Amino acid sequence: MAGLNVPGLQPVQQAVEAVGHSVSDDLKSLAALKVEPDTLKSIQSEYIQRATELWNQALTKPEAMTVSDRRFAAPEWTQSPVSAFMASMYLLNAQTMQRLADSLNGAEKARERVRFAVQQWSAAMSPSNFLALNPEALKKAVETKGESIQQGIQHLMGDIRQGHLSMTDESVFEVGKNVATTPGTVVYENSFFQLIEYAPITDKVHAKPFLFVPPCINKYYILDLQPDNSVVRHLLSEGHRVFMVSWVNPDESLAKATWDDYIEHGVIQAIEVTREITGAEQINALGFCVGGTMLGVALATLAAKGRKPVASLTLLTSFLDFAHTGILDIFIDEAMVRMREMTMGPDSPQGGGLMKGGDLASTFAFLRPNDLVWNYVVGNYLKGEMPPAFDLLYWNSDSTNLPGPYYAWYLRNTYLENNLIKPGAVTVCGEPLDLRRLDMPTFIYGSREDHIVPWESAYASTQVVTGPRTFVLGASGHIAGVINPPAKKKRSHWVTGAKVKQLPTDANTWLASAEEKPGSWWTVWADWLRDHAGPMVAAPKQAGSRKYPAIEAAPGRYVLRKA
């Protein structure tokens, strides 16, 4: 296409050429990968030795064969020598393939992509995933006279109709009935979000209200699942006046919405409405995941205009610095970003589009294929079982779309080019972005086993913001680590060591001197937030204000819209 000059198609032509060059470079990187001859010889020798041992054991002492993997934990796997040998050989093959992938020399991103491909292949080829090779599923089929297979087929057809794999019994849950049940009122809405004001549960509240900014790639009610694990309800019990952004699930009417639109008409507008309703000069605000990135950008943009409406900032499992994005980095390169820009960015032929929520959900699920994909394939379809009811997994399946221009801008300026931490590298809402303007007290939280926002990258925000900083590390992952109410007395968290006077630049240096505490990190955060929330005043008698009267009861219409 380089020799063509078709009016109006130059951006597309340039993008196609850039994609071609990028793919060519990626193929060269993959072709250049190699395993050192001595390493290859050692892996081959060990494989042959272990395979021979397994074969001999299967012939001489089949009853002694064991399989140390939870996919084969059912007694049926070891009761059958053939199944035990098959599972053992599969594990040996998978481990050997992974060792070969780990031993590759070459470009790091190419190596990571091979590792990921091997992980996906290994997970998919497990004998537990095939009815004919799964003795547990076969036994159940015999015992139920085929009813389990019939149920499995019905589950499969149901999942095909709903467009996603069932991770929980979704019929048990209904938003507003048994999830997202904290009483509140929608007091504002525009085409991007509804603002919920929750009813106080204490006679007095802190003078500075609190605003939640959840990620717009998910529904807000992860912060308000059940009464006993609701972050919202916990804050209310602490005497805070709480507001929540409930993002709309975009349809074609928002297909051309940009990053700037979400910052200006979303985050900044939510801050202003919260201030107007409460009459507070400053509020406290929290951003979760992408919501934290957006909130940080919005506050830096406001600071560039000389406005500082937020007294304290909380960032939960959020990126500001995208230098190290973990496993998600393998998906992001110039070719991928250019393709998104071509098909759904502002310069695409149609000027926009939608990134389907189901596609995003599938990508995140395959980051942990055994836990979030194949486990349910086996249970739902091969055994005909309905997965147990679990509110967090119900929320996880309630996916949302994203406007294409927003998504394309986000990919290029965060994961691909890490522009947010480069002062003046991007302009947001007409202002050059400089995150060093975030000089308010900031509480930063990371989850130690987070595969979406590695905790070291969450910690990196301590080197971006310039005000007083507090960092806390929680156990578990991206969601389970955050949703950890104190009453459950589960897990633990790490706080800065008593002798540390200043947060070090390196995350692991911080961890080496951190102090582990039992239970939830919520109590540390609540104590910190109390110091920034102002004096206690009488709780409001009703939601909203004269300018922003009540619209409807929480959870509102927007959260009910399906992708």
Catalytic site residues? 289
> Is the bond preceding residue 555 a cis peptide, omega within 30 degrees?
yes
- Alpha-carbon dihedral of residues 278, 283, 289, 291, nearest 10 degrees? 60
Task: Name every residue whose Cβ is closer than 8 Å to that of residue 220 and which is 6 or more positions away in sequence.
Answer: 180, 212, 214, 244, 245, 246, 247, 559
205 vs 237: CA distance, rounded Å? 10
DSSP string of 174-241?
-BTTTBS-S-EEEEEE-SSEEEEEEPP-SSEEESS-EEEE--TTS-GGGGSSSGGG-HHHHHHHTT--
CA distances (Å), origin 481, targets 104, 234, 245, 460, 477: 33, 16, 22, 18, 5
- Please tell me the distance from the alpha carbon of residue 395 to that of residue 194, in angstroms, as a whole number: 19
Residues 485, 471 contacting (CB under 8 angstroms): no
Residue 114: CB atoms within 10 A of its CB come to: 19
Chain center to CA of 437: 26
The encoded tokens of residue 124 equal 């998919």
Rg (CA), the chain: 26
350 is written with which tokens?
Answer: 């149609």
Give the C-alpha distances (Å, rounded to integers) separating 380 from 157, 279, 393, 442, 507. Answer: 11, 52, 15, 44, 41
Residues present in the chain in total = 563
Enter the tokens of residue 506.
Answer: 């390196």
Cβ neighbors of 435 (< 8 A, separation 6 or more) are: 296, 297, 300, 320, 420, 421, 423, 464, 465
Under a CB-based contact definition with an 8 Å cutoff, are residues 175 and 559 in contact? yes
According to DSSP, the residues that pair with 380 across neighbouring strands are: none
The DSSP result for 540-562, as a single string, is PSSSS-SSS---EETT-SGGG--
Closest CA to 83 of 46, 130, 120, 140: 130
The greatest distance separating any two alpha carbons of the chain, rounded to the nearest whole angstrom, comes to: 84
